[in-house]
Amino acid sequence: MMMVSDIFYGNFELEDILSELINSEPVQRLKNIHQGGAIFLVSPHVDHSRYEHAIGVMLLVRKLGGSLEEQVAALLHDVSHTAFSHVIDYVLQHKGEDYHEQIFEEVIASSTIPNILAKYGFSTSLLEDPKHTLLETPLPALCADRIDYTIRDLYHFGLIDIVEAHDFISELGVQDGKIGVQSERVASWISSKYLQLNNAYFRKPEHIFANTKLAELIALGLEKGILVLSDLWKDDPAVLSIIKTDPDLNAELEKIKNLEGFESFSESQSRKIFKERILKPMVIGTY
């Protein structure tokens, strides 16, 4: 049995299937994929990973009584993210920010995951089961994926403290297979924090600049043949090391880090590519 610990959800002893999946290459790779895309280039203190998020979503599903199958799906839901997370969506102009979803089956099929699942009597069909309503539910509702990235991003960016995070998590509950909160007060709190996250973090002009400019840099690398699309299935350090082999691309990378050109950067143009997000949680006991 494997023990895992998370700052928001606590300590858990895991079944062998979860332990083996966590130790697999596709999940370990997420340690080197930044949750915030290129944000770390201009806000170096915000450097949490997709791995932390994947573990967190799995543990939240577990904490809320989700099945082992749903915990497996939660752990693996982001394994198809390319380097720099959603930056690739801007490179390929995927306005739905869903490139990782489009390649999910291909990434899973070409990995060790199907064999690990089969060893424990499961198939890959469990990974996209519509019954997993704790894991994924469309906006504006709460779901484990949305809750974890919201709390994690808010915390790492300094918009909430650990006590606020724990207090909110303690107010979560499940009704008819969906996640809700215990009071209107808590619903209002997380809705306002979600709005704050979008305005102060995702739409922070420097963060939009970093993501937009790194997308342009990667597109240029692909155009020049220094990068190929499959390179983006590696991790952030691997792609950065390729970028740094080219003097022009490396110079552009340094400009992003130093916010060169930020003053003349048109925020209004770039903000169009970012999804609008509003949260309206269910209050348990009401419909």
pLDDT digits (tens, 9 = 90+) for 230-245: 999 999 999 999 999 9
One-letter amino acid at 233 equals: W
Give the CATH number of the domain where residue 82 resides: 1.10.3210.10
Residue 234 located in a structural domain: no
Residue 4 CA to residue 152 CA, distance in Å, equals: 17
Residue 18 CA to residue 22 CA, distance in Å, equals: 6
Residue 232 located in a structural domain: no
Structure tokens that stand for 117 in this block = 């699942």
Residue 129 located in a structural domain: yes
Residue 231 located in a structural domain: no
Instruction: List the beta strands (DSSP E) in the chain.
Output: 2-6, 10-14, 172-175, 178-181, 282-283
Residue 98 located in a structural domain: yes
What integer pLDDT is reported at residue 240 of this predicted model?
98
Band of pLDDT at residue 101, cut at 50, 70 and 90: confident
Nearest to 54 by CA among 4, 124, 110: 4
Q: Which pLDDT tens digit goes with each residue over 114-127? A: 999 999 999 999 99
Q: How many domains is the chain partitioned into structurally? A: 1
Residue 239 located in a structural domain: no
Band of pLDDT at residue 264, cut at 50, 70 and 90: confident
Residue 250 CA to residue 226 CA, distance in Å, equals: 12
Domain that holds residue 196: 2-204+276-283
Residue 257 located in a structural domain: no
The residues near 136 (Cβ < 8 Å, ≥ 6 apart) are 77, 143, 144, 145
Nearest to 41 by CA among 194, 212, 158: 212
Residue 243 located in a structural domain: no
Rounded to two decimals, the pTM is 0.94
